[in-house]
Amino acid sequence: MSILIKNGRVITSTEDRMVDVYAEGETITRIEEDIDPSTLPDETEVIDARNRYVFPGFIDPHVHIHLPFMGTNAIDDHESATRAALVGGTTSIIEMICPGPDDEPAAAYKEWKDLARAGACCDWSFHLAVVRFDELAQQQVRDLVEHHGVRSFKIFLAYKGALDISDRNLFRLMQLAKELDIVITAHCENAEAVDSMQQALLAENKSGPEWHEPSRPRSVEVDGVNHLCTFAELTGARIYIVHTSCGDAVARAMAARAAGVDVIVESVVPHLVLDNSWAERGEFEGAKYVMSPPLRDPEEHDRLWEAIEARHVATIGTDHAPFNFKGQKDMGRDAFTKIPNGIPSIQERIDLVHTYGVCAGRIDLHTMVNSCSTEAARTFGMYPRKGEIAVGSDADLVIYDPSHESPFCEADGLSQVDYCGYEGMERRGRAEVVTLRGKVVARAGQYVGDEAGGREIQRNFSSRTQS
Ligand code: URP
Ligand code: ZN
Ligand code: ZN
């Protein structure tokens, strides 16, 4: 099977060219001006990309699908979440494996991997959350890296008593990460401060979703970033700070980088386009907008977009964590601390970045590709197979129509969640055709691929710095 993308404007993190792209089987084999279809095998599918951008398949480095959390489970399965991803132009995801404090890492890894194998339609990999680090867990974590392809860990400084890790264990894990050349991805908020502030607010009968942000202000996040950077300085471990919500946290990470810490910063789309006023919506609707770190003041949008343009924020993910409004978010009607945290975004991410980043003049197209694809591929050992349009790369391609206009709406969503976090917001642009390793899997908002056609991504650190 082969595919020819003709007449498109091919945009990567560094290049902008009018060239045709030809893939034989799963791989890009030719990139040339004006490839003549009559010279190609008869079964070649020719896609006319006139007036369209051709992007490398986008990568979401921060996704939750199977997520037992806050007394419930996230509502998507691998099939629904990855179909939604593909329709939105995301061809690869990295999901967080989040076991509970009593679960063994090896069993958790198997549980998540079996689910992804059985259901995922896009390509996939994992960050392994390390919640316990006793002797058995240490052995298993090492074995998962050395023999099973785990290439990044996740730690939570937040969620006291559920997912958080002690300082002693964090330090030892970071030493191990340094030894094994593994990236530590981290949720940075001071768990003790959050817990104390939550209790104080509830004691004053401040129980609605609008109190979620005041319970974990920016200083709590900056403190978490500072703490992680200190441990990174001491251990030499490479760190990746997830879902950074405010300019001060980015600035703290950049100060650490200037002092020699190997730190990479991620932001996620809810923090770029939504603000804390959404969590104040009446009829408890604000609960839809409870995530951690919380949505901030609208001024933070500018600070984050500027940091993306400056490449201080390297990647844009989603932190897709879908909980229904009815039956899940409303578990927290009497206390915001019981609202399952998360905002679904896996399908909307690329169109949000295009609309509110590129069309708004905040970032250019190269920065969009870099932050939504190429930089994740480099950081997590997938480049240049993913995140690039080059001979030899996987034929993961997004033929994108920048002139499409239609508002975001729940009815278009392939996720199983019962609301769209961006309902009614302006959308400019849409993935018209999406290919995964040379096969068309989505057309104009519809999934047209195989069942469970995704594959585990083989990650290799030696590719990290290649360009
Ligand atoms: O609110 C969030 N972010 N929910 C998912 C879990 C996490 O912290 O990433
Ligand atoms: Zn988190
Ligand atoms: Zn997350």
Are residue 37 and residue 117 in the same domain, yes or no?
A: no
Rounded to the nearest whole angstrom, what is the distance from the C-alpha of residue 165 to the centroid of ligand 2? 13
Q: Are residues 51 and 61 in the same domain?
A: no
- Cα–Cα distances in Å, from 429 out to 90, 401, 406? 14, 5, 8
Structural domain count of the chain: 2
Cα 205 to middle of ligand 3, angstroms: 28
Q: How far is the CA of 319 from the centre of ligand 1 (A)?
A: 6
Between the CA of 68 and the centroid of ligand 3 the distance, in Å, is: 12
345, two tokens: 């975004």
The ligand with the least distance to the CA atom of 62 is 3
The three-class DSSP label of residue 134 is: coil
Q: How many CB atoms lie within 10 A of CB 134?
A: 9
Taking the centre of ligand 2 as the mean of its atom positions, its distance from the CA of residue 213, in whole angstroms, is: 14
Q: Are residues 229 and 104 in the same domain?
A: yes
Evaluate: CB of 270 within 6 angstroms of ligand 1.
no
Query: Where a domain ends, among 379, 412, 445?
Result: 379
Same domain flag for 180 and 314: yes
Does residue 409 form part of some domain? no
CB 4 within 8 A of CB 20: yes
329 located within any domain: yes
The minimum-distance atom of ligand 1 relative to the CA of 64 is 5
Ligand 1 mutation pick, 341, 345, 346, 417, max ligand atoms within 8 A of CB:
341
Name the closest-CA residue to atom 7, ligand 1. Answer: 292
Q: What is the DSSP string of 15-32?
A: -EEE-EEEEETTEEEEEE
Give the residue ranges of DSSP H helices in 339-443: 349-353, 365-369, 375-379
CATH number (domain holding residue 35): 2.30.40.10
> Is 14 found in the same domain as 67?
no
CATH of the domain at 259: 3.20.20.140
Cα(263)–Cα(183) distance, integer angstroms: 10
Residue 143 shares a structural domain with residue 46: no
Q: Is 8 in the pocket of ligand 1 (CB under 6 A)?
A: no
Q: Distance from the CA of 342 to the center of ligand 1, in angstroms?
A: 5
Q: Say if residue 158 is in the same domain as residue 63.
A: yes
- Confirm whether 13 is domain-assigned: yes
Would residue 407 count as lying in a domain? no
Asked whether residue 464 is assigned to any structural domain, the reply reads no
- So what's the pLDDT on residue 466? 42
Residue nearest to atom 4 of ligand 1 (CA): 342
Which residue, by CA, sits nearest to atom 1 of ligand 1? 291
Range of the domain at 288: 57-379
β-pair partners for 186: 155, 241
> Do 135 and 7 share a structural domain?
no
How crowded is the C-beta side of 14, counted as CA atoms within 13 Å? 7
What's the pLDDT score for residue 462? 64
Written as tens digits, the pLDDT of the chain (467 aa) is 899 999 999 999 999 999 999 999 999 999 999 999 999 999 999 999 999 999 999 999 999 999 999 999 999 999 999 999 999 999 999 999 999 999 999 999 999 999 999 999 999 999 999 999 999 999 999 999 999 999 999 999 999 989 999 999 999 999 999 999 999 999 999 999 999 999 999 999 999 999 999 999 999 999 999 999 999 999 999 999 999 999 999 999 999 999 999 999 999 999 999 999 999 999 999 999 999 999 999 999 999 999 999 999 999 999 999 999 999 999 999 999 999 999 999 999 999 999 999 999 999 999 999 999 999 999 999 999 999 999 999 999 999 999 999 999 999 999 999 999 999 999 999 999 999 999 999 999 999 999 999 999 999 876 444 43
Is the residue at 463 inside a domain? no
Angle at CA of residue 221, ends 129 and 150, nearest 5°:
20
> Do 229 and 315 lie in a common domain?
yes
Q: How far, in Å, CA of 295 to CA of 277, rounded? A: 8
Query: Quick check: 329 and 322 in contact, CB under 8 A?
Result: no
Q: Is residue 173 part of a domain?
A: yes
Question: 25 and 140: one domain?
Answer: no
Do residues 340 and 241 share a domain? yes
Residues 347 and 448 in one domain: no
The Cβ of residue 259 has, within 10 Å, a number of other Cβ atoms equal to 10
Q: What is the pTM of this model?
A: 0.98
The pLDDT value recorded for residue 461 is 76
